[in-house]
Amino acid sequence: MRLSRPKRLLALIGLVALLGLGLPACLEHFAAPSPLLGLRGDTALEGKARGWVRAFEDDLLGQPLIDVHAHLAGRGRESNCWMNPRMENPLRPLDFFRGRIFSAAGLPDKDAPDVAWIDHLAQLSSAMPFAARHHVLPFDQRYDQQGRANPEGSDFFVPNDWALFAQERHPKQLVAAASIHPLRSDSLDELRRVAARGVRVVKWLPSAQGIELGDKRLLPFYAETARLGVWLLIHTGTEGAVGEIDQNHLNNPLLVRAALDGGAKVIVGHCAAGGLARDLDDPSLPMVPAVDLFLRLLDERGGEGRLLGDISTICNVNHFAVALPAILSRPDLHGMLVNGSDWPLPAVGPLIMLWPLERAGFLDKGDREVLQGVFASNPLLFEVLLKSRVHLPESQLRLDPVVFRARPELGLE
Ligand SMILES: [Zn+2]
C-alpha cells in the first residue's frame, strides 16, 4: 500500500510523537517499579535462589560484598545536583528518554526528593541477605581545554558533598567517592579536601567530561592521587548513556597507560566491556573490541599492583557476547577484577536480558526464571547474583569469588 504525501507526513509526525512521548513513558515501565514496597528487611527468596545466595555468602568469607560503581543523580532539591534541561525536553526525544529512564530506575517515584535516590539504594542494599558496601559516585561537569566549566555540554552534575552526605546518612552501606575534573582550577585543593574526609576513589568519564588522559597538565593530579592513596575509577569503552558519542575515543583503555605512567592507581571502569576501540599500538589495524585492549593492559601492567578492572555491565545485552567470553576465559586475571553494579542500570529491565544469555549458553536452563524472580524483588541482588552464575558455555568456568569481596586498598575493611 502506498500512502499519499499528506498521509505519509501525518504518519511521520505520528511516529515522531510516539518516539518522543509515548515510547519513553512506555519504556519507563521496564525500569523496576519501586521494589521497596515489597521489601520488609529481607528480600523474599525461594528454593534455588536461596541456595545460590547461601553459596555466594560463603564465598564472601565473612567480608562485605564490594560494589565500586553506583551512581548518584538528582534534580536539585536540597542536593545541588542538576540535570541538563534538555534531558527533560520532549522535543529532544533521545535526551528526554535517557533522563526519564534513569530517573525512573533510581528514584521510586516521579516527585521524590533527591534523597530518595540515596535511601532507595541503601534500602535495597540492606534488604540483601549479606552486607554490602557501595561506592556512590558524584559526577563533575564537562570542562573545556582552558579549564572552563561547560554546563551546557554536561548531561548532569552531582557534587562531591552529595556523596559525602549519602555516606553520612547510610554509613553501613554507602561509601563516598568523588568526581573532580583535573583541569578545574581548584582540582588539587578539592582532591585534598575529599581525601581528608576519607574518599579513596575519584570517578572520571573522559568522553562526557572532556578529559584527555595523556594531557601533560594532568601529571600533578596523578601524582597527588598517588600521594593520597586515591584510586581513579576511569570509564572505558563505548559510552552510550551519557555524553557525546563522537568523544568515545577518549575512553580507549590503552590511554590509561598515561595515568599509570604518571603514578596513579586506576580502576578501569566496566573492564572496557562496551564497543570497539582503536588499537593504539597499531592504529592501521581495524578497530578491535575495547575489552581486548583492557586485557592487554592488565597483562602488561597488572603486576604493578596499581591496576584493577570493575566488572559492571559485563552481562548487559549490548556487552555480554564479547565481554563474557573474554573475561571468563582469563581466570588468571580475576584477582585484579572488582565488582561494580553501575546502579541504577540493573533496575532498567531491558539493559540486562536473560534469554539471550541463556541461549548463548552463559546461563543454565532454569536459571532464567529464578533470576527473574530475584529481579522483581531486588534488582541490586539480581545483578550480582547473575554475575556469580554466568559461566563459559560448555564449561563451568565462572568469575572467581575474589571479585566480590571488599578490598582494604579501596578504603574498605
Ligand atoms: Zn557507570
Residue 103 in any domain: the answer is: yes
Phi first, then psi: give them for residue 139, nearest 5 degrees.
-150, 110
Other Cβ atoms less than 10 A from the Cβ of 81: the count is 20
Distance 71 CA to ligand 1 centre (A): 6
State residue 37's pLDDT score: 44
Distance 342 CA to ligand 1 centre (A): 5
| Contact (Cβ atoms closer than 8 angstroms) between residue 267 and residue 308 | yes
Same domain? For 111 and 21 the reply is: no
Distance 280 CA to ligand 1 centre (A): 24
Alpha carbons 371 and 385: distance in angstroms, whole number: 8
Distance 12 CA to ligand 1 centre (A): 35
Residue 104 in any domain: the answer is: yes
Distance 383 CA to ligand 1 centre (A): 14
Same domain? For 154 and 198 the reply is: yes
Residue 40 in any domain: the answer is: no
C-alpha cell at 16: 515522531
Same domain? For 224 and 331 the reply is: yes
Distance 386 CA to ligand 1 centre (A): 18
Same domain? For 117 and 23 the reply is: no
Distance 134 CA to ligand 1 centre (A): 13
Distance 325 CA to ligand 1 centre (A): 21
Distance 3 CA to ligand 1 centre (A): 44
Distance 47 CA to ligand 1 centre (A): 32
Distance 69 CA to ligand 1 centre (A): 6
Distance 371 CA to ligand 1 centre (A): 22
Q: Which residues form the domain of 287? A: 64-410
Same domain? For 110 and 174 the reply is: yes
Distance 348 CA to ligand 1 centre (A): 13
Residue 199 in any domain: the answer is: yes
Distance 313 CA to ligand 1 centre (A): 8
Other Cβ atoms less than 10 A from the Cβ of 358: the count is 17
Residue 68 in any domain: the answer is: yes
Distance 295 CA to ligand 1 centre (A): 19
Ligand 1 (ion): residues with CB under 5 Å are 342
Look up the CATH number of the domain holding residue 148.
3.20.20.140
State residue 44's pLDDT score: 60
Residue 280 in any domain: the answer is: yes
Same domain? For 8 and 74 the reply is: no
Distance 70 CA to ligand 1 centre (A): 7
Distance 155 CA to ligand 1 centre (A): 13
Distance 178 CA to ligand 1 centre (A): 13
- Counting the structural domains of the chain, the total is 2
Distance 312 CA to ligand 1 centre (A): 8
State residue 76's pLDDT score: 82
State residue 3's pLDDT score: 44
Q: What is the mean pLDDT of the chain?
A: 88
Query: Which parts of the chain register pLDDT below 50?
Result: 1-3, 13-29, 33-41
Distance 156 CA to ligand 1 centre (A): 13
Distance 46 CA to ligand 1 centre (A): 31
Same domain? For 198 and 309 the reply is: yes
Residue 34 in any domain: the answer is: no
Same domain? For 179 and 324 the reply is: yes
Distance 413 CA to ligand 1 centre (A): 23
Distance 73 CA to ligand 1 centre (A): 11
pLDDT digits (tens, 9 = 90+) for 388-403: 999 999 999 999 999 9
Same domain? For 141 and 6 the reply is: no
pLDDT digits (tens, 9 = 90+) for 147-187: 999 999 998 999 999 999 999 999 999 999 999 999 999 99
Residue 46 in any domain: the answer is: no
